[in-house]
Amino acid sequence: MATIRLAVIGLGKIARDQHLPAIAGDEGFVLAATVSPDNAGVTGVPHFASLDNLFAAGPAIDAVALCTPPQVRFDLARAALDRGLHVLLEKPPGATLGEVAALVAAAEASGSSLFTAWHSRYAAGVEPARAWLAARRIDRVRIVWREDVRVWHPGQDWIWQPGGLGVFDPGINALSIVTRILPRPLLLQDALLSFPANRAAPIAAELTLQDTAGTPVVMDLDFRQTGPQSWDIVVETDSGTLTLSSGGAVLALPGQSRHDADREYPALYRHFAELIAAGRSDVDVAPLRLVADAFLCGRRVEVAPFVD
């Protein structure tokens, strides 16, 4: 298969920490260009302040990886798909569910591959957890996703704006894992969303869910965690307790524990290359739909202002 000429759009934290190393380590891709409005780019790679500038004056590309905040992603994705480019969407795949549906239609129309890249699903413990749970009765699930927003999202104002999701920006990673490892769809029962008085997105949330067989699932999200951070999913079954911790990297089963090397983004790019080769898309909105349902039905309380 020919090497895929890729442009990375949005050269922020996740692009530099994860996307660029994963692309450099995958022979199926070459980093052909970067786009970011206020950025120096990467040495030796053509850089543009906007996607329009890249289209007007840049090198030929086959695909884009959209690593911007979600609020600006739709227009970029639409422009790329309309040119017949393949598109990888960082999570969350859009600011609304309607946007993602429109992108699916655009990808079908242009024959391009569209990939909603839920990176946490590629954490080492996720597929073994899914396989182990498939053969068991699940009694209850508890998700605790508590992190210090000042450590992980310093100065990221977009996260507090409409469409930025607030504490659901990391919380949607937990939802991407549970919607993968649990055998049945989840439905929202109740949500309590804590909005800082000066912000348009929640700083904490408590969710009560059920799967379609009535299995209870509770979720505790908080951006105000200091000290040890928690990214844990605990599943009680008829054969004992499964614990996925460190965001899915560490899996503990009755009598055994495993922690394999982090391959999230390399695995994600391998899958993107396979989708392009096969002429397929991979689109799943289940995690975003649960977040949308929490915003739709959740009770809101005002809490202390948040100052970065």
Q: Which residues pair with 215 in a beta bridge?
A: none
Beta carbon nearer to ligand NAP, 41 or 183: 41
The CB-of-288 to ligand NAP minimum distance in angstroms stands at 11
Tell me the C-alpha to C-alpha distance, in Å, between residue 249 and each of 120, 243, 260.
Answer: 9, 10, 7
Considering only 9-17, 100-108, 178-186, 255-263, which stretch makes contact with ligand NAP by CB under 6 A? 9-17
In single-letter form, the type of residue at position 251 comes to L
13 tagged catalytic: no
Considering only 69, 166, 202, 248, the residue that binds ligand NAP (CB under 6 A) is: 69
Assess 116 for contact with ligand NAP (CB under 6 A): no
Applying CB under 6 A, which of residues 6, 7, 8, 10 lies at the interface with ligand NAP?
Answer: 10
Nearest to 294 by CA among 171, 158, 120, 152: 171
Q: Which of 47, 86, 91, 121 is catalytic?
A: 91
Q: Which two tokens stand for residue 201?
A: 């997105």
Q: Which of residues 236-275 bind ligand NAP (CB under 6 A)?
A: none
User: Which residues, 6+ apart, have CB-to-CB distance to 168 below 8 Å?
Assistant: 201, 202, 205, 221, 291, 294
- How near is the Cβ of 166 to ligand NAP at its closest, in Å? 11
Q: Between 21 and 37, name the residue whose CB sits nearer to ligand NAP.
A: 37
CB-based burial of residue 103 (10 Å sphere; 0-12 exposed, 13-18 middle, 19+ buried)?
A: buried
The interface region with ligand NAP, picked from 63-71, 249-257, 275-283, 288-296 by CB under 6 A, is 63-71
Q: Enter the tokens of residue 89.
A: 């969407």
User: Residues 138-177: x/- map of binding to ligand NAP (CB under 6 A)?
Assistant: ------------------x------------x--------
Amino acid in position 64? V
Identify residues 78-107 at the interface with ligand NAP (CB under 6 A): 90-91
Question: Phi and psi (nearest 5°) for 192?
Answer: -120, 115
Q: Are 81 and 53 in contact (CB under 8 A)?
A: no
Residue closer to ligand NAP, measured from CB, 156 or 243 = 156
| CA-closest candidate to residue 45, choices 85, 8, 73, 89 | 8
Q: Which of 6, 7, 8, 9 binds ligand NAP (CB under 6 A)?
A: 9
Stretch that binds ligand NAP, among 10-18, 54-62, 210-218, 298-306 (CB under 6 A): 10-18
Instruction: By CB under 6 A, name the one of 3, 13, 105, 200 that touches ligand NAP.
Output: 13
Count of residues touching ligand NAP (by CB under 6 A): 22
**Which residue, 242, 286, 249, 258, is CA-closest to 136?**
242
- Minimum CB separation of residue 156 from ligand NAP in Å reads 5
* Residue 72 in the binding site for ligand NAP (CB under 6 A): yes
DSSP 8-class letter at 237: E
| Whether the Cβ atoms of residue 136 and residue 239 lie closer than 8 Å to each other | yes
Q: Which residue in 34, 68, 112, 225 binds ligand NAP (CB under 6 A)?
A: 68
Find out whether 208 and 221 touch, Cβ atoms under 8 Å.
no
CA distance 197 to 199: 6
Applying CB under 6 A, which residues contact ligand NAP?
A: 9-15, 35-39, 67-70, 72, 90-91, 119, 156, 169
User: Catalytic residue numbers?
Assistant: 91
